[in-house]
Structure formats: C-alpha cells, structure tokens
Structure 1
C-alpha cells in the first residue's frame, strides 16, 4: 500500500506542477475574463461611435426620434445641417438624419460615414409612420370617432408559462455546458494519461520498478494519481466559478442581468451541480483507464501521441450522437445508451436534465459505471506488466489482441 501511495503521489504532483496543467486550469477563467473585457470595450466603443443627430423644422418630430435613439445631450444640441457636418467630421457622431415635409408627406434622408443599424432604421420608421398617419388623418378630414374605427385591429393572445419557457431554455443551456465539459475534460485527460503510460514503454526503468513492486500496484497508483489531478481541476473550477459568480453579482453593470435572468441562472446551476457531476467524474475516470490501456499497447515511446486515439475517437462518437437527443431524451436509443458505459456519462445527464429519468434509474446507471471501472482496473492491472514490457512491432490490433491474452 505504501508503494501504491508513492506512485500515486509522484504521478499527481508531476502533473499539477506542469505548465500544461496550469494553463489547462486557468484557460477557462482567462477566456471568460477576456470575453467580458472585449464585450465591455466593444459595447463602450459602440455607444461612443453609434450616435446620430436629427435635423428637422418639426421639433416635436425631432425630439421623438432622438428619444428613440436615447441620445446624449451633445447630440441633441446639433440642430442644423452645418452643425451636423462638423460633428461627423470631428467623429462625434456617425451621421445625421434630415427630416422634411413636402405636400403632406414626410421625407427623411440620412447622411454619414457609417450606415444606420437595423434597429435605428426601425426606430426612425416607427416615429415617421406615427407622424405621417396624423398628417393623413388631417388631410382626409376624419373625425376622432372615424379615426378610432379605422384603428381597430384583430387581436391574438398567447398564454405561455414564463417558468416553463425559462426551464426549457435552462435545459438547453445545461445540456450544452455539461456535454462540452464532459467532452473537453475526457479528451484532455485521455491524451495526458495515454502519453504518461506510453512514454514508459520499452524503458529499462520499468523492469527495475516491477522488481520492487507489483505491476498491479503501479498501474493502480497511476490511475489514482490521475484521479487526484482530475478532482483537483474540478474543485478549482467549482470554487473559482463560485467566486466569479459571487463577484459578478456585485458588479453594477451585471446586476440587472442577474436580476432579469435569476431563475434561468439558478436552473442551469441546479442542473450542473448535482449527480451529473458524479457522472462527469466517473466518465472521465473510465476514459482515462481506456487511455492508459491504449498507452500500454503502443509499440514504442515515440508513438505516445497516437496512444489516445481509441479513447478520443470513442468519446468524440458519444459526444456527437448525443446532440440529436437534446430535445428527444425520452427516445429508446437514449434510454439504452444511458446505461452503457462510455456513453452513460453523456446520455444519463441529458435524460436527467430533461426530466426523463428518475433517481433510481440514475443510481442503476452509476452502479453499472462504477462496476465497469473497477472491473477494468482489476483486469488491466493483471495484464499490465505484460503490456508495458511488450516490445513487438506488429500492428495495433495485433498488440491489442495479444494484450488481452496476457494473464
């Protein structure tokens, strides 16, 4: 047991001290900070350079359009075409709208160095339509009662539960976040583990190690060490994500967002921080064991980068076939795959998020997953010495069949 701990500790500390692990852990936080920073700068820049002045003899019409634009005070002070041209040249506004009236018809013309946005065009048209309608009513000599009758429109009402709509949106977001998390962590640790094992292939040091401890203890120590690394990363994500979430809630610019989408955010967090995390962890462990087995089967240490291919391709296959079931989690195929190891880490969380699986079904799936993990560890640890010391140059499938034959 002491030697098993030594192997596990050596594997663990060697991995967490590497720059690749540090970058792997910090990357999501740096990406989130960069995205927020760029979004803030972009929004600030857009606000600064998206101003439009309005020039018109009809001050009521002019003020109505400016109100739609939500313009700053300095844009409201631009009242003539000459002032507007100077403002455009000084880069204080991107353009100006000139509104005139000819024979009971309103005409608006925009000039600038940037086009109006789609929303700005719609805002101008909305105000112009309202004022044009008033002119048409006056020209037609309609009474107020006649005008009200012309304004009669059919109605269409909908009754949609806001909670249900938010729950559906929360399920979709939870699905994408969870599936991508499982996929990315599996791909990462499959590659790391496969190369960790494959790099020892054919080295004389392995014969020395196996002379002082059993291959089973050595293999289990490797897996325990990698499990510790995986747990460390998940804990850092949970703690760091929680702190970022609490900090974001205190930022003035983000408080309205959290207030508006509070039920949606809580729904997503509830779908992620529950039994689904256990499926994520066990799924990564299962693929890590497969990657370790693949790493032990390579012909030589130089083939280490290829060692993760079996685990990578299998995970990729499970990842992509889960997408058609995001809105059909109750399908028979999804039910079957939610109990199949290597697929259950994707499909059972999908079913749980969509409320198509009970906790009893999830428990049964977990039991099968855990049994598969222990079964693989027991079997591979028995044949590990023969696998790692095997130096044949045959094809991968020949080495695979030969590896299964070791006892």
Structure 2
C-alpha cells in the first residue's frame, strides 16, 4: 500500500507542479479578474460623470431627494455655479434644480445631454410623490379621507414551478454542467493517456515491476490523477465563491444578481450536491479508459493519439444529451442514465429536470462506482502485459495480447 501511495503522490506532485496545470487552473480566474477589473475601473472612472448634483433653496426638499437617490447624486455640490462648472468639466452629467411654492413642485434639469431614462423616472417619481403630499396638505382633508386615499392596489405573482425562472435555471444549469463535464474529460483524458503512454517501452518500467506489482503501480497512477482532478474542482469551487463575493461589491453586478436571485439560487442548487459527485465520478471512469488507451499505444511517440478513444466516447455522450434536454423522461434517457460512461451526463440532466427519484439516483451511483472499481481492478491485472509491449503491431493485436495476459 505504501508503494501505491508513493506512486500516487509522485504522479500528483508532478502534475500540479506543471505549468500546464497551473495555467489550466488559473486561466478562468485571470479572465474573471480582468473582466472585474475592467468593470470596476470603468464604473469608478465614470461614476461621477453619471451622477448629478441637486440644487434647491429648500434644504429639506434637497435632502429628501438625496436620501432617496444617494448613489446617483454628488451631495458635495451645493450651488448652481459649482454644478455648472462640474458639468462643463465632464465631472457630472448634469444638475437638477428643485423648487416649490404653496401649490406646485418644480424640477428643472440642466445638462448638455438628455437625462438618462432611469434617472428621469426617479426624478418624476420624486416630484409626483412630493406634489401629492403638497396637494393633500392644501386639501386639508379629514383623517378618514386621508386614510381612504392612502389605500394602495395589490399585485401578486403566482408562477408554477415548471415555468418562468425555474425553466431558465434548468436550461442554464444543464448546459453549464454538460460543458463542464465535457471540458474536464477532454483535458484529463489527454493528460492521463500521455502520462501512461510516455512510459511505454522504457526499461524503467521493467525495474519498477520487479519491485512492486503492476496493479499497485496502476492504481497509484490513477489515484494521483484523481487527486489532481479533485484539486482542480475544489480550487474552482473555492475560487468561484471568492470571485462571487468580490463581484457582489460592484453595484451593477450586485443589482443584476439581486434582480435575478431566484434564478441564481436555482443554478447554484443544480450545480452542487449530487450532480457534482456524478461529474467527478464521470471524469474518473473516463480517466481510467484513457489510461488503458495510453498503455495500448505502440510507442511513447504515439501518446497524443492515446486519448482519442476516450475523447470520442465522451463526444458521443455529449451530443446524445442534446435531444433529451427538454425530454429527459424519455425511455432512452432513462436507460442511459444507468449506463457507465453515459450516466454522468444523463443522470444529472434527469436530476435537474426532477425526473429521477432518490432510488434511481442511488442505483445509478452504485453502478457507476462499481464500474470504476471493477475497471481499475481488471486493468491493473493486465497492466504489465499492456505497458511492456514494444512491438509495432496493430492496435487490435496489442489489445488481444493485453487482454489475454496472465501474470
């Protein structure tokens, strides 16, 4: 067991220290950091230009408007002359002059450009509310009449669970999950196949197999790659959470997420939990097939070709899911959700669409885990016969010879 762990640790450290792995893990965060940086810089540089000043001879009126629109008003500008200078210097988009007499509230906007739609709406709402308060005061109504005028209409939304935002959350979750599985599979299928194929025909392997069992060595290699995959997934989860918290400090992103909170919650719920387990196990079983393919190549120079069987199989599974995205309860989708190599695509799809019971999910998970253990055990038994083949024969001949190998 110690030798297996040594092989696993050596494989793990070699992979995580490579520049390819570091760039693979960091590249999404670099792109996110650049995007957030540009967004923050743009928002900071243009924040004053998008704000306005409010001028009024009635301090209470001005204070009330600023309180309702504090993020859009530069409160430090208090005079018409200062506001005009800031507009001329492109430090403000304009300034609003508020005034009121006994009967009417007036707002006059000064700028070289038209007022933005959002700001215009907020100004009109404020003027309407203030005018209403003035009208009520002038009308001198009784408390009963005031109470009658204060009654507001009621508006409610009743949205079925299978409509609206829930459907959109399912669609987004499905595509994000499928692409995530596919991209990770493509990456680690190539990495694992080349990791195994690069040892093909070397004398070092004969020395290693003289001191430890080939099955233990194979399990160690697979465990090392598993550790790399798990590390990448954990980094993505932790890093993604960190970037989400940073993004929430940007007003435009925060308001966007707040306006679509139910959609965001639905996507996060579908992406985590049992679906993430299926993603991880799906990558593992394809990694084992990639290792098997890597051991079957004729020589180390053929390593780039070694990942092709696993990649083609994952492409078939990827494209098969597309017709069933909106019909995950179909018979074919149900059957494939229990078939190893396909269940990591189809069962999460059924879970997202609420078409799988707890028993069905458990059965699919047990079959997938059992398949992984059996494949690892079987390939470990014939691994020595596969990796030590150095003659340049046909693929099928090498496969038959490897399958027939007995220690």
TM-score calculated relative to the size of structure 1: 0.71
CA-CA distance at 1:37 after TM superposition: 4.6
Quick check: 215-224 or 396-405, which moved more?
396-405
Q: Which residue of 1 aligns with 2:197?
A: 198
Cα distance in 2, alignment partners of residues 303 and 270 from structure 1: 42
Cα offset, 1:325, TM superposition: 1.1
Match of 1:293 in 2: 292
How far did 1:27 drift? 1.4
Assess, with a 3 A threshold, how the Cα gap between structure 1 residues 44 and 251 changes in structure 2: closer, same or farther. closer
- Mapped to 1, the partners of 2:40 and 2:172 lie a distance apart of 23
Shift of 1:398: 2.3
Equivalence for 1:28: 28
User: Which residue of structure 2 aligns with residue 223 of structure 1?
Assistant: 222
Do the aligned residues in 1 keep the contact of 2:40 with 2:250 (CA within 8 Å)? no
Q: CA deviation at 1:7?
A: 0.4
* Residue segments in structure 1 that go unaligned for 5+ positions in a row: 50-71, 73-86, 94-119, 121-158
Q: Which residues in structure 2 correspond to 1:126-137 (within 5 Å)?
A: none
Deviation at 1:46, TM superposition (A): 11
Q: Distance in 1 between matches of 2:315 and 2:33?
A: 28
Q: Is 1:400 the counterpart of 2:399 in the alignment?
A: yes
Query: Residues 9 and 364 (structure 1 numbering): CA distance in 2 closer, same or farther, change over 3 Å?
Result: same
Aligned in 2, Cα 1:34/1:401: closer, same or farther, shift over 3 Å? farther
* TM-score (ref. length: structure 2): 0.71
Shift in Å at residue 250 of structure 1? 2.6
Match of 1:255 in 2: 254
Q: 1:274-289 to 2 correspondence within 5 Å?
A: 274-289=273-288
Aligned counterpart, 1:147: none
Give the Cα separation in 1 of the matches to 2:358 and 2:41: 45
Q: Bigger CA drift: 285-294 or 31-40?
A: 31-40
- 1:33 positional shift: 2.7
1:18 is matched with 18
Aligned-partner Cα distance in 1 for 2:30–2:295 = 35
1:210 maps to which residue? Answer: 209
Map of 1:387 onto structure 2? 386
After TM superposition, the structure 1 = structure 2 runs for residues 366-385 of structure 1, keeping only pairs within 5 Å, are 366-385=365-384
SS of 1:390's partner is coil
Contact 2:181 2:279 in 1 (8 A): yes
- Equivalent position of 1:265 in the other structure: 264
Q: CA deviation at 1:405?
A: 1.7
Structure 2 equivalent of residue 244 of structure 1: 243
- Tell me by how many angstroms 1:40 deviates: 6.6
Within-5 A mapping of 1:131-150 = none
Kept in 1, the 8 Å contact 2:336–2:343? The answer is yes
Alpha-carbon deviation of 1:244? 1.3
CA distance in 2, matches of 1:33, 1:228: 26
- In the alignment, the residues of structure 2 paired with residue 291 and residue 358 of structure 1 have an alpha-carbon distance, to the nearest angstrom, of 32
Match in the other structure for 1:161: 159
Q: C-alpha separation between the residues in 2 aligned to 1:398 and 1:326?
A: 40
Task: Name the SS for the 2:252 alignment partner.
Answer: coil
Is 1:351 aligned with 2:350?
yes
Mean Cα deviation higher: 160-169 or 181-190: 160-169
Q: CA deviation at 1:251?
A: 2.5
**CA–CA separation in structure 2 for the residues paired with 1:247 and 1:45:** 19
1:7 equivalent in structure 2: 7
Q: 1:303 corresponds to which residue?
A: 302
CA distance in 2, matches of 1:309, 1:242: 34
Give a deviation string over 1:92-123, Cα, whole Å, max 9, x none: x9xxxxxxxxxxxxxxxxxxxxxxxxxx9xxx
SS of the equivalent of 1:357 reads coil
1:103-118 maps to which residues of 2 (within 5 A)? none
Matches within 5 A, 1:330-345: 330-345=329-344
Quick one: distance in 1 between partners of 2:277 and 2:363?
13
Distance in 2 (CA, whole Å) between partners of 1:268 and 1:336 is 25
C-alpha separation in 2, matches of 1:346 and 1:38: 36
Distance in structure 2 (CA, Å) of the matches to 1:213 and 1:173:
48
Between the two proteins, the alignment pairs up a number of residues equal to: 322
TM-superposed deviation, 1:358: 1.1
What RMSD in Å do the two structures reach over aligned CA positions? 3.4
Q: CA deviation at 1:246?
A: 1.8
